[in-house]
A and B are shown apart, each in its own frame.
Chain A
Amino acid sequence: MKRTLLTGNGAAAWGARLAGVEYLPAFPITPQTEIIETIARWIDFGEMDCRMVTLDSEHSMITAAGAAAVTGVRVFTATSSQGLLYGMEMLYTVAGWRAPFVLVNVSRGLASPITLEPDHNDILAARDSGFLQLHCATCQEVLDCILLAYRLAEDERVRLPVIVNLDGFYLSFTREPVEIPDAESVARFLPPFDPENLGFRAGAPLSEAVAVIGGTPYSYFRYQSHLAALNAVDVFAENAAAFAQAFGRTYQAVEAYHCDDAELVFVMMGSFATKAKEAVDRLREAGEAVGLLRPVLLRPFPAADFRRALSGKKGVIVVDQNLSMGKGGVLHTELASALYGYPGTTPVLVSFIGGLGGRDISAEEFYEMHAVTRQAVSEKRAPAPRLLYTEVELREMKKIQAIARVQGLKEQQT
Chain B
Amino acid sequence: MAYDYEKSIRPGKLPHIWCPGCGHGIVMKGLIRAMDTCGLEKNNTAIVSGIGCASRLPGYMDFNTLHTAHGRAAAFATGIKMVKPEMTVICCGGDGDGTAIGGNHFIHACRRNIDMTYVIMNNYIYGMTGGQFSPCTPTGMKASTTPYGNPDPIFDISKLAIGAGATFVARTTSFHATQIDKLIAEGIKHKGMSVIEVLDDCPTSYGRRNKFRSVVDMMKRLKEVAVPVAAAAKMTDEQLEGKVLTGVLFKEERAEYTDQYAKLIARVQGA
B70 and A82 within 8 A (CB):
yes
Out of A30, A41, A56, which one reaches B135, CB within 8 Å? A56
Give the size of the chain A interface in residues (CB under 8 angstroms).
Answer: 22
Out of B62, B103, B145, which one reaches A37, CB within 8 Å? B145
Any chain B CB within 8 A of the CB of A114? yes
Contact with B along A184-198 (1 / 0, CB 8 A): 000000000000000
- Min Cβ gap B252→A in Å is 29
B132 and A56 within 8 A (CB):
no
- Cα A56 to Cα B69 with chains together (Å): 15
- Cα A30 to Cα B70 with chains together (Å): 12
**In this complex, which of B12, B130, B145 has the most chain A Cβ atoms within 10 angstroms of its Cβ?**
B145
- Min Cβ gap A43→B in Å is 9
Out of A29, A36, A56, A82, which one reaches B100, CB within 8 Å? A56
B residues 62-120 in Cβ contact with A at 8 Å: 62, 67, 69-71, 100-101, 103
A54 and B133 within 8 A (CB):
yes
Any chain B CB within 8 A of the CB of A390? no
Contact with B along A58-87 (1 / 0, CB 8 A): 100000000000000000000000100010
A54 and B148 within 8 A (CB):
no
- Cα A30 to Cα B67 with chains together (Å): 17
Residues of chain B within 8 A (CB-CB) of A82 are 51, 69-70
CB-nearest residue of chain B to A404: B12
- Cα A26 to Cα B101 with chains together (Å): 13
Known: A57-B101, A111-B69. A28 touches B132 (CB 8 A): yes
A residues 221-275 in Cβ contact with B at 8 Å: none
A residues 9-45 in Cβ contact with B at 8 Å: 26-30, 33, 36-37, 40-41, 44
Chain A interface helix/strand/loop/mixed: mixed
Any chain B CB within 8 A of the CB of A283? no
Chain B interface helix/strand/loop/mixed: loop
- Min Cβ gap A147→B in Å is 25
- Cα A291 to Cα B145 with chains together (Å): 45
CB-nearest residue of chain B to A113: B67
Any chain B CB within 8 A of the CB of A52? yes
Residues of chain A within 8 A (CB-CB) of B130 are 28, 33, 37
CB-nearest residue of chain A to B143: A54
Residues of chain B within 8 A (CB-CB) of A378 are none
Any chain A CB within 8 A of the CB of B129? yes
Chain B residues in the interface with A (C-beta under 8 A): 12, 51, 62, 67, 69-71, 100-101, 103, 126, 128-130, 132-133, 135, 144-148
A-B contact pairs, 10 of them (CB 8 A): A28-B126, A28-B129, A28-B132, A29-B129, A40-B146, A54-B133, A58-B101, A82-B51, A114-B67, A407-B12
